[in-house]
Chains A and B, each alone.
Chain A
């Protein structure tokens, strides 16, 4: 009787964990650099295709993963230096970086579509097999996704802790000019947050490619869901971002199961619209501010 809800819950936790890698990156980039980085979807796809391309030629997991991460890091570094940073120096409005980001997304995705085609690419000898508990099924790929996802998030938290990046990022997020006055190299922080966020997205892209494959247009939907989380949370708090992403994924999967797959985006963005209109500061942010005063 409870098999279906438990299965939905289980799948939502796993896919929510993968999506939270994208959400963490998007939220940190948005809050620190103020760039509404829709091209995050393009970076995600670039990581996935780089992984697929090397893996199908060498069958080497390590070579494919290292290559994908290198491509993603070079791509986002170039984007930041050539496009976003000059706009930031000109103190352009957030809407301008949004437009630039849409243009970048179109360029990256269509170049990949030209190079690899518009069809879905899969990895044939990817991990197969399942664990079954009654009617509840847990695949080996899901197991891999959970383990790698947890390690990736732990790695990001360790990076924030031991490099004291979190404090610097919080500071730049609150006020970039004052951060500069206090000696923080804000341009360096921007590059670091872009690369860290993109590497997390790349890990998510690889894990998703192993499971269902990849096509050039898969990045936008994932990025928009991550963007919804970034607006809802509005704080640089990894655990909150994960919690919100998992809850949102659970809601989307429930809508898909009980209503129709096509309603999931409608419901997700209805929540976004209501939050923007009635709690622009995000769902939890106001209470946190109140507690501090």
Chain B
């Protein structure tokens, strides 16, 4: 039972990450290779504030999300300067710079040794530290974000974000500033990824740089592209495929050492097949050209 609940928590974290990446990729058309940066900023700021300054989760989380917003301004600046492949490459560069900083700034992040002893959140004196309570806590966050998107996708702001994705010049001709809409989209995406980071840090109670690498960013992007970008169902189904695939391999009696590589082979293959034959992804709304 505990194992099932553990898988549920992981699934919730990846659903949040996929929805956050979908905000950039699906709604804004910004192919990011640095979603793990916001995930990492959320996790690290929470961990540092809790372990070094004695903050509670409910104080550390808003601070972490605020830091994510500040980092999002850098991405907004980049999105205003470059587009398409060069935006992706700039985010790739930021991802690697972020990893270098987290890895080397030992006095703050404890470098490769990581930060241990991150205390769990508390609600009305109840500690959320069992897999069951955390699965419920994560589910509340997922529900909150999904409800947000059900509302947000119908708003004029979201339509302007999508219009900026589809035809920037048309948006300019309407007297609107496309960079503003890209910026808003990046900030929303950063906040949701930051929430996933705060959840991850307080759930595993230990973080190190290896969870926030370029590979993780590529993985988050792949989840969105395979599930399908632009809507809500696509990213959620992408996260489901990613989390449940190893369980399926285990069910087929595949040893763990083989299953890890096999999962990446199948995921890579799916990515190639999706790009080649179904560019909208399995449940996507936005056609990646």
Chain B neighbourhood of A83, CB < 8 A = 272, 276
Chain B neighbourhood of A276, CB < 8 A = 82, 86, 89-90, 93
Question: Residues of B with Cβ closer than 8 Å to A?
Answer: 31, 78, 81-82, 84-86, 88-90, 92-94, 96-97, 99-101, 103-104, 214, 218, 221-222, 225, 258, 261-262, 264-265, 267-272, 275-276, 279, 288-289
The answer to whether A266 and B276 touch (CB under 8 A), given A98-B88, A114-B261, is: no
The answer to whether A114 and B97 touch (CB under 8 A), given A96-B279, A98-B85, A103-B275, is: no
The answer to whether A93 has its CB under 8 Å from any CB of chain B is: yes
Can you list 10 A-B contacts (CB < 8 A)?
A36-B89, A102-B271, A106-B264, A107-B265, A110-B264, A265-B96, A269-B97, A276-B89, A276-B93, A280-B86
Q: Do residues B268 and A103 form an inter-chain contact, with CB atoms below 8 A?
A: yes
Q: Do residues A263 and B100 form an inter-chain contact, with CB atoms below 8 A?
A: yes
Q: Do residues B265 and A100 form an inter-chain contact, with CB atoms below 8 A?
A: no
The answer to whether A92 has its CB under 8 Å from any CB of chain B is: yes
Q: Do residues A266 and B97 form an inter-chain contact, with CB atoms below 8 A?
A: yes
Q: For A95, A265, A273, which residue has the most chain B Cβ atoms within 10 angstroms?
A: A95
The answer to whether A104 has its CB under 8 Å from any CB of chain B is: yes
A190→B119 CA distance, assembly (Å): 56
* Pairs of residues from A and B, 4 with the lowest C-beta to C-beta distance, nearest first: A266-B100, A106-B268, A103-B271, A107-B268
Whole-angstrom distance between the Cβ of B270 and the nearest chain A Cβ: 8
Chain A neighbourhood of B269, CB < 8 A = 103, 107
Q: Which secondary structure dominates chain B's binding surface? A: helix
A229→B103 CA distance, assembly (Å): 24
Chain B neighbourhood of A224, CB < 8 A = 92, 96
Partner of A110, one of B89, B221, B265: B265
A269→B267 CA distance, assembly (Å): 27
The answer to whether A113 and B261 touch (CB under 8 A), given A96-B279, A105-B268, A277-B82, is: yes
